[in-house]
A = this chain, B = another copy of it.
């Protein structure tokens, strides 16, 4: 599962240098791994992490504008359109015209969407369960806190 030490070709003596400590590099690898884990639990439904996140937030904010949700999730408008389109096609989300501002689009979950979120909430949040990775609960907490701070998403940001 982890790096196969058995494979002892001379080629494996690779030098990585400071890249090993590069934030960008580590974030990339971490995300790849997280992505893979996600598919182990939710992949069977053909849903991607981003899609589940959107579903989740729509569920918490029914009737909100899709643009607002996109902005808060750092999703680009163009991408949001397609994302919502997919979710609608799957029957999880419904669009409704904003009555006051007819440019705006309100979105909310369908019954099916609510059920889906409720069912898979656990699996999704399991991502940071320490059983699934190398970190202790405290370490995971620290990591998440630091990432929140790094991204300016900690609740008590300056």
Q: Is the beta-carbon distance between B57 and A19 smaller than 8 angstroms?
A: yes
A residues adjacent to B (C-beta < 8 A): 1-5, 7-9, 11-12, 14-35, 38, 49-50, 53, 56-57, 60-65, 68-69, 71-72, 74, 106, 114, 124-125, 127-128, 133-135, 139-140, 142-144, 146-153, 155, 157-158
A110 to chain B, nearest CB (A): 12
A17 to chain B, nearest CB (A): 5
Q: Is the beta-carbon distance between B21 and A128 smaller than 8 angstroms?
A: yes
Please give me the residue from chain B that is nearest to A1 by CB atom. B114
The 22 sampled A-B contact pairs (Cβ below 8 Å) are A4-B61, A7-B64, A14-B64, A16-B57, A19-B56, A20-B148, A20-B155, A23-B34, A23-B140, A24-B34, A24-B35, A25-B53, A26-B147, A26-B148, A29-B74, A29-B151, A29-B153, A30-B147, A32-B74, A134-B152, A134-B157, A134-B158
Q: Is the beta-carbon distance between A23 and B61 smaller than 8 angstroms?
A: no
Q: Is the beta-carbon distance between B63 and A16 smaller than 8 angstroms?
A: no
C-alpha gap A147/B15 in the complex (Å): 19
Given A5-B63, A31-B31, 15 more A-B residue pairs with CB atoms under 8 Å apart are A8-B64, A11-B71, A12-B68, A14-B57, A15-B60, A15-B61, A16-B57, A17-B56, A18-B125, A20-B155, A22-B124, A26-B153, A134-B158, A139-B146, A142-B146
